[in-house]
Amino acid sequence: MNATHSSSSSGGSGIGSGPLGYGNAPTCYFVMIGTKDNPIYEAEFIAVNTARSSSGGATIPEAKKEEFRHLNQFIAHSALDMVEDIQWSTNQMYLKSIDKFNERFISAYLTAGNIKLLLLHDAKSEDAIRNFFNDCYELYIKTLLNPFYEPNSIISSAAFDTKVRLSAKRYL
């Protein structure tokens, strides 16, 4: 995981080699999208190992982080089209890597109830992502079984958030 992010160890500058001044932030952006293309849940994970190795404090100023967040949503949104294309050609749930944006890959997982789980990430092993998606799918089903949870609505449970982050730490 450390090998691919050689430029981030130079710390401080925050402006990396990406053409948009994107920076080489080793973050993964995870979003669950409901049946009406509405986001149900989003989370950003920062790879712990590289964060520790960078020279103290925030490597990227807050303003740049906000930009990345909007960009993440755009990227995820455009990836939805790809998901819908592939959806009918396979009966697998894990749709592997469906799209690429600059250096980031987008993997998708489609649940039986047509909820899309999208993950924006840098190069990672497919197995790890598959395990992560399976974990999140299980958590989603458990949330869904709650009779007070309205399907297609935002998941605001803190316990859910904690579990997703735990799972991300384990697999990503």
Residues binding other proteins (CB under 8 A): 87-88, 90-94, 110-114, 134, 137-147, 151, 157, 159-160, 162-163, 166
**To 5 degrees, how large is the angle CA 43–CA 36–CA 153?**
55
We find the least distance from the C-beta atom of residue 32 to other proteins, in angstroms, to be: 13
CB closer to other proteins, 55 vs 146: 146
We find the least distance from the C-beta atom of residue 44 to other proteins, in angstroms, to be: 17
We find the least distance from the C-beta atom of residue 34 to other proteins, in angstroms, to be: 11
CB closer to other proteins, 25 vs 164: 164
Q: Which residue has the tokens 């990503």?
A: 172
We find the least distance from the C-beta atom of residue 145 to other proteins, in angstroms, to be: 6
CB closer to other proteins, 66 vs 85: 85
CB closer to other proteins, 54 vs 87: 87
CB closer to other proteins, 60 vs 108: 108
Cβ contact 110:116 at 8 Å: yes
Which letter, b or e, does each residue of 22-39 get, where b requires 16 or more Cβ atoms within 10 Å of its Cβ?
A: bbbbbbbbbbbbbeeeeb
Cβ-in-10-Å burial (0-12, 13-18, 19+) of 140 comes to buried
Cβ contact 60:26 at 8 Å: no
We find the least distance from the C-beta atom of residue 41 to other proteins, in angstroms, to be: 13
